[in-house]
Every structure is written in C-alpha cells, then in structure tokens.
Amino acid sequence: MALKAPWIKNYGKIPFELNYPDHSMCDAVYQAAEKYPEYTALTYMGRTISYAKLKEMIEETAKAFCALGIRKGDKVTVCLPNVPQTVYCLYALNRIGALASMVHPLSAVGEIVFYLKETESKYAVTLDQFYGKFDEVLKQYGLKKLIITSAGSELGMIKKAGYKLTAGRKIEKVPARENIMDWKDFLSGAKRVNGGYAVSTKGNDAAVILFSGGTTGVTKGILLSNLNFNALGLQTEAMSSYAVPGMSMLAAMPMFHGFGLGVCVHTMLMGGGISILVPRFSVKEYANLIKKTKPNFIAGVPTLFEAITRSEGLENVKLDFLRGVFSGGDSLSVELKKKFDKFLDDHGSPVHIREGYGTTECVTASCLTPYHMYREGSIGFPYPDTYYKICIPGTTDELDYDIEGEICLSGPSVMLGYLNKPEENANTLRVHNDGRVWLHTGDLGLMDKEGFIYFKQRIKRMIITSGYNVYPSQIENIVDAHEAVQMSCAIGVKDPYKMQKVKVFVVLKSGHTPSDELKASILSYCKKYIAKYALPYDIEFRTELPKTLVGKIAYTVLEKEEDAKETATATATSA
C-alpha cells in the first residue's frame, strides 16, 4: 500500500519516473552553464550574473579554497545570507570534493561554536557585519581562517559605491589578524593554483550539511548527498509542470534552509533558471521585488504569504506572470489558503498556492499538491520516485487508508544520515520488509484511498516560527542556566504573523522574587545564546509548573491555557 505518484490516475503531464545523474551538484549546474551560457543565472540587488560568469566565479572560488589547503572531505562553514558569495562557496566546495556546512548567520555565538565543533570545521566564511559575533566565537573555537566578505562586494559599480556610503558605513572595519582573510585576498589565492583542484564526485558522495532537530528535537547535522539535491531539482521541476530554463524564482528562503537551498537555488540553477537572491527579508522589499522583477515562481512559508496579503505595495499589481506559488516549512491553514488564493485571483494570477511537505532529512519537499487537483487539508501527492506509507508510530507496521500514524517515506532525496549519530540513524532510517530504506519522519498523518497525504501533527515536540524549527528543550537548557532560574518550560503560542512565537514559563530559585527587572535580565541572557528568530517574546513566572503522572512537565497543559486565553480575548473583542 506504500504509494508514489505513478499510482495516481490522470496524473497529468508529471512523469512517472526520472533519470538521476550520477554526478555532483556542481556538475549539474555546469551542464546548465554549457547549455545556456548567456542566460541569467542570478540576480542580486539589480545586478545580473550569467551562467558563464557564475561558472567562472565558482572556478575561481574553488581554486582559492584549494590554495588554503582545503581538500576532499573537509568541512567548511558557510555562514552567509542569500548573497552571490554563498552560491560561489557552495558549488566551489562541491567542485573540490569538500562539504559546505550551511549555518544561519543570525545564530547565537554558542550555536555557531556548536556547529563548528560538530563538523570539525577549520574554515568559515561570513559577512563583515557579523564579525563581532565571530570574534567571540574565535575565543571559544580555533579556526585556521575566517574569510570575511561584504554584502556590497558583488553589487554593480554604482550600487557598490552607494552601499559603502550608506549601509557599509555603519559596519565596523574588521581588524587585521593572522587568521582573518578578506574576500578579495582570499580570491587572489586562486592565481597560485593552475590545476589538479577539481575532484570528481558521484551522486552518493556527501555534499552538504544542514542543521535540524531530527526525531528527538536535538539539533544535529544532516548529511546530504549530491544525488539528494540533484534528485530534488529534477523532481521539483517535474512537479512544477513548467520547463525551468529562462524562468525566475524569488529566492527569499535562506540558503542555510533546505527549502531555500534545494528549491529556490539548486533547482533553478541546475535547470537553467534564474534565482533572484534576496539577502534580507522585509514585507515591503519583497512586495517591491515581486512588482519589479516579475518572478515566475515564488516559494515561502505561510507567514510570508499572510504578510503579502497585508502588503501595501501590491494593490494594483497584476500577477499574471506567476506560474507557481509554493508553500512549505509549516502547515498552511485552510483559511490562509482561501485568503491567499483570493488575493491571487484579485490580482490576475493564473495559478493558486500549492502546499508542499518535507523534512530537512530529504533536503526539503517530497510531497506537493498537484497543479490540477486539490483536496482540502491535503499536502498532495508524493514526488516522482518517492514512496509514502503510514505506519504505527515507532514500528514498521503499515496502516490502512484513512488511519492516522507516522509518515514514512523512501526515495532518492532521503539523507545519508545524521552526522556522528549512529543510534539515531538506526531509529530514523529503517529497512522495511520490502528491502527499501524508509525515513521515519516523526510526523503524524494519514493517506486516503485516492493517494492524497494529510499531515496532522508532529510526534516530536517542536515550535515552528516563521518557518524555522525551534526546539523547546534547547531553549529550556539555556534559560535554566540563568542564575535565578530553577526550571523552565518553553511553548509555542499562536501568532497571526509568525504562526507561532516562543513563550517561556519560569520557576525561580529560592531567594529570587519575580520582577520586571529579573524578566529583562533573563531575556538579555537569552539574547547571548539564542538566535533572534527563536528568542522568547515573553517570560511568565510561576510558583510551580504542571506535571504529568510520571513527574514530567506537562507542557500541553500550558499550551491549552494559552489557547484558552486567546479564545477568551477574541470572544471579548468580538463582543
């Protein structure tokens, strides 16, 4: 009963099976560059970069990494937003057989140190505006080289000069140190390398490390292969129902995220499309980019689409250029889908929003609502060559149609495994009786008789805010380390913009009294160790926390209390 897309009758023009190349991510992009050398590959703040130029920059960056002594199998931390240098580094490292460890640039110092230790990275690349953070990182973890670049260095001449006079002026100059290298000096090292730097890698070779929580909610590195990304690119193009060459996608989803890296960048670049890089998101700027660049595809989390409906920059804009609108990273509510579909209709769009589902363990999406079929509340059908089944949680026993259980999937985009986590790999990647390796997602859902998949909820405890995974246990570990805190519990509270925001309940140690000053102290402490997007918006002091029968903190009780408060507030407001 395990299903894949070909099972569906009248599936339209989506191919049943695809041919997956046995080569690297970089090779996939180079094939597009050979076929479409003059096509635009990237646009960045008004500058266009052709495929021929992209290939040239990747080669130069690959030589520069090689000149530093980086070799096959080495891990390099790329802590950058969506700027061209991120793209150059990703494929350059892939070109020499090294692995790119993609890290959120807004991560806290402690998180960055953790990522570096997990991957044993000795080299990292970041922006000058994040140097202050990395200065603290370097006190806790020794890097051979920290390469510093700028958001303005890849702009055109006029905009580059403007950047230096505006945003660039506010950034403190990075001091000269032996283990710090400017991007320009880094690239100059390419001149010392004449050949022998390129390494031939195959589909199953490791290529990228992304960080997520896995099935236990503890952050870990996810090891992804060339095949994982190349398969995703071919599958996504097939599911989009449009040929990618010459088409454009607004890449606002960050490249440290599987959605941004796999769909918005790699899918477009291996297909000959245009990736419109958005280094920093704001609703106003995003609306302006839609109006100015007229992208064929936009992809994002539900909060993005909710924000677009409230944007003042798109009132009279005709969206007839859209060919695909994709939502992922969190559940798209039925109400928001209806609201955004009406927004699209009112603006002349020929398409409606399509919801996808996936996990970082398979790069990103593995299931998507078809372009011509929809069932309310469904996340659609599996990608080509991707199988889905619903099992009794914690087992390999398959359930019948319409019965809720754990979503399991199998296909070419499933990860190689968690980095240095053999026990969790054994629990998450299991060989079933059919001989296939199945990814146990830790998510609950069901499959109906037509083959539509429905996501219900997460088995693992997780908060998703603005599309980012936040793991309560990690927040609690940090809060509990504050000198005044006895214990804490973090939950997700509904938010109309972020979908969820983080709230923490705190029991104080004896001798400490609740006060606004103490709350401010705890929040200030959190800012040192927690990424901005995961910071608690509020702290509530309690004399005790609710417990389960076995003595665990009953976080679901706190969640229900907050839901009740919201309902009461909404009722009072409407009255």
Q: What does the mean pLDDT of the chain come to?
A: 89
Q: Are 74 and 104 in contact (CB under 8 A)?
A: no
pLDDT for the residue numbered 502:
95
Q: Are 143 and 122 in contact (CB under 8 A)?
A: yes
Among 59-68, 295-304, 314-323, whose mean pLDDT is lowest? 295-304
Among 33-47, 80-94, 472-486, 515-529, whose mean pLDDT is lowest? 472-486
Q: Are 5 and 236 in contact (CB under 8 A)?
A: no
Instruction: Output the DSSP codes for 192-228.
Output: G--SS------TTSEEEEEEE-TTTT--EEEEEEHHH
Q: What is the pLDDT of residues 253-265, one digit of tens each?
A: 899 989 999 999 9
Instruction: Output the DSSP codes for 342-370.
Output: HHHHHTT-S--EEEEEE-GGGSSEEEE--
At residue 16 the predicted structure's pLDDT band, cuts being 50, 70 and 90, is low
Instruction: Output the DSSP codes for 378-413.
Output: --BEEPTT-EEEEE-TTS-PBPPTT--EEEEEESTT
Over 60: is that where the pLDDT of 63 sits? Answer: yes
Among 35-44, 54-63, 243-252, 558-567, whose mean pLDDT is lowest? 558-567
Over 70: is that where the pLDDT of 481 sits? Answer: yes
Token reading at 92: 């350059």
pLDDT for the residue numbered 176:
85
Q: For the residues 74-85, what does the mean pLDDT come to?
A: 97
**Amino acid at site 46:** G
Q: Are 296 and 313 in contact (CB under 8 A)?
A: no
Which is higher by pLDDT, 97 or 507? 97
Bridge partners of 538, per DSSP, are: 503
SS3 letters for 127-148? Answer: EHHHHHHHHHHHHHCCCCEEEE
The domains found in the chain, sorted by start residue, are 7-13+23-354 (3.40.50.12780), 464-574 (3.30.300.30)
Which is higher by pLDDT, 310 or 208? 208
Over 70: is that where the pLDDT of 203 sits? Answer: yes
Among 94-108, 283-297, 300-314, whose mean pLDDT is lowest? 300-314
> Any alpha helices (H) in 365-515, and if so which ranges?
422-428, 472-480
Using DSSP's 3-state secondary structure scheme, residue 55 falls into helix
Give CA–CA dist 87/33, Å, rounded.
Answer: 14
Neighbours of 203 (CB within 10 A): 21
Q: Are 108 and 528 in contact (CB under 8 A)?
A: yes
pLDDT for the residue numbered 394:
84
| Residue 445 exposed, middle or buried by CB count within 10 Å (0-12, 13-18, 19+) | buried
Give CA–CA dist 227/113, Å, rounded.
Answer: 29
Which is higher by pLDDT, 73 or 284? 73
Q: What is the pLDDT of residues 120-133, one digit of tens each?
A: 999 999 999 999 99
Q: Are 385 and 412 in contact (CB under 8 A)?
A: yes
pLDDT for the residue numbered 573:
67
Q: For the residues 20-40, what does the mean pLDDT come to?
A: 98
Give CA–CA dist 412/392, Å, rounded.
Answer: 24
Give CA–CA dist 260/363, Å, rounded.
Answer: 10
CA count, 13 A, side-chain hemisphere, 415? 32
End-to-end CA separation in angstroms for the chain = 50
